[in-house]
Amino acid sequence: MSELTLTKVSKQFGGFRAVEDIDLTVAPDEVLCLLGPSGCGKTTTLRMIAGLESVSHGSVAFGGRDLSALPAQDRNVAMAFQFYALYPDLTVEENLVFPLAAEGLDARERQARLDHVASVLQLGGVLQRRPHELSEGEKQRVAVGRCIIRRPNAFLFDEPLSRLDVALREDMRGSIRRILATLNRPTVIVTHDQLEAMTMGDRIAVMRDGGIEQVGTPQDVFDYPDNTFVAGFIGTPQMTLLDGTCLGADDGGIVIGTDHARWTVPHAHFHRRPCKGDRLTFGFRPRAASLEAGALGLDGCRLVLSEHMGAEKLLHFDWHGQAVRVLTQSRAPEVDALRRVGVDLRALHVFDGDGRRLSVKGIPQ
């Protein structure tokens, strides 16, 4: 099968630019998740791939063939919506085979595809039921099945699990991911749920305000965010981000810090070195911080809140007006207690005044 390519794709509604200069390539056997907050343009991008929205500028292509001018019915893509859009008067079986009506398949091929989809999605026992007789999970599986029963150019999913409860969502993430791995078609999933993106996507494209902030594997986006938006958006609990300054440099490295602390970070930690006086942002994951000694110490952190998270506790500290988060299995201090928070230097992310990453990728975490 062919890859899906978006080149400088933009969408404008009157004077509002909803999507701007999107460049993406999705391989035939790849699942790409468009991840971002509400209103960032991810669903509009998906709809332009499907042909449900016209492209203001740029192109959407399959295998090098520009399909931007083709209507949705001529693009041969399968799309599952956030709302299942099942035909209420048709049985599950009839809903599943409905997309095959225009393909001119013989009865044997239709039955073979139906049997396969019913098997992999565990729908064999509900084929003669109608949508109102199904659970939410069964409805979702029927919607997915109606997509995969075809042989389209691409699969598109718009918030496929958003209407399910937490337990069912966890089960469906794994089921859909296993199914998609067998289809050998470019697949794009829109979601605002980072856990969904991290578990289902081969790659993630993080979007904001109609543009793409970073594209990479889930591990790369988590370990090495390109900017402070991605750093703050990806990861639960959220990364600690502290405002600071470059205080200078010496033979040991770059001196960074705030009015309340200063640390020397080796030159090798930076792919682009800041200058004295430059505004900086320092970031670290809550799991990289502890109440033990560390190369980077934050003295005088006051505990504001302790959240129980099963075997761990998320400690929220105030450090001279800045929020610091620590994930620990240790006993939590009393509220208002002052503690020193230590951070492993290797886990430190440094960003410039515009929020762009300064620290190198590849430092052991």
Residues 273 and 137 reside in one and the same domain? no
The more confidently predicted of residues 281 and 162 is: 281
The residue behind tokens 């966890």 is 170
**Per-residue pLDDT reduced to its tens digit, 244-253:** 999 999 888 9
Domain membership of residue 20 (yes or no) is yes
Residues 201 and 319 reside in one and the same domain? no
Report the interhelical angle of 136-148 vs 166-180 (nearest 10°): 20
Query: What local confidence, expressed as pLDDT, does residue 103 receive?
Result: 78
Contact residues for 142 (Cβ-Cβ < 8 A; gap 6+): 84, 86, 92, 95, 96, 121, 123, 131, 134
Residues 260 and 175 reside in one and the same domain? no
Residues 216 and 277 reside in one and the same domain? no
Which secondary-structure segment (H or E) carries 166? helix 166-180
> What's the mean pLDDT in 309-331?
93
- Measured CA to CA in angstroms, residue 77 lies from 157, 191, 338 at distances of 11, 19, 58
Residues 146 and 173 reside in one and the same domain? yes
Q: In the chain, how many domains are there?
A: 2
Domain membership of residue 360 (yes or no) is no
**Per-residue pLDDT reduced to its tens digit, 286-298:** 999 999 877 789 9
Per the structure, the complete domain to which residue 289 belongs is given by: 240-351
> What's the mean pLDDT in 120-126?
86
Domain membership of residue 58 (yes or no) is yes
- Nearest CA among 247, 262, 337, 350 for reference residue 298: 262
First to last CA, the chain: 37
Lowest mean pLDDT across 46-55, 80-89, 271-280: 80-89
Taking the C-alpha atoms of 142, 197, 68 and 184 in order, what is their torsion angle to the nearest 10 degrees? -60
Domain membership of residue 364 (yes or no) is no
Residues 10 and 132 reside in one and the same domain? yes
The more confidently predicted of residues 313 and 150 is: 313
Share of the chain above pLDDT 90, in %: 65
Label residue 363 by pLDDT band (50, 70, 90).
low
Share of the chain above pLDDT 70, in %: 98
Residues 179 and 266 reside in one and the same domain? no
**Per-residue pLDDT reduced to its tens digit, 126-161:** 999 999 999 888 888 888 888 888 888 899 998 877
Cis before residue 28, ω within 30 degrees of 0? Answer: no
The sign of the dihedral angle between the CA atoms of 137, 138, 140, 144 is positive
Residues 198 and 333 reside in one and the same domain? no
CATH number at residue 188: 3.40.50.300
Report the interhelical angle of 136-148 vs 107-120 (nearest 10°): 140
> What's the mean pLDDT in 16-39?
94
Alpha-carbon gap, residue 123 to 92, rounded angstroms: 8
**Per-residue pLDDT reduced to its tens digit, 163-211:** 666 777 777 777 778 877 878 889 999 998 898 899 899 999 999 999 9
Residues 244 and 190 reside in one and the same domain? no
> What's the mean pLDDT in 201-229?
96
Domain membership of residue 359 (yes or no) is no
Residues 207 and 304 reside in one and the same domain? no
Decide which of 233, 268, 297 is a domain's last residue: 233
CATH number at residue 300: 2.40.50.140
Domain membership of residue 356 (yes or no) is no
Domain membership of residue 362 (yes or no) is no
Residues 90 and 161 reside in one and the same domain? yes
Alpha-carbon gap, residue 91 to 365, rounded angstroms: 52
Query: What local confidence, expressed as pLDDT, does residue 163 receive?
Result: 67
Are 210 and 178 in contact by the 8 Å Cβ rule? The answer is no
Decide which of 233, 251, 275 is a domain's last residue: 233
Decide which of 191, 218, 233 is a domain's last residue: 233
The more confidently predicted of residues 242 and 83 is: 242
Lowest mean pLDDT across 36-40, 112-116, 161-165: 161-165
Query: What local confidence, expressed as pLDDT, does residue 273 receive?
Result: 92
Residues 346 and 319 reside in one and the same domain? yes
> What's the mean pLDDT in 90-99?
92
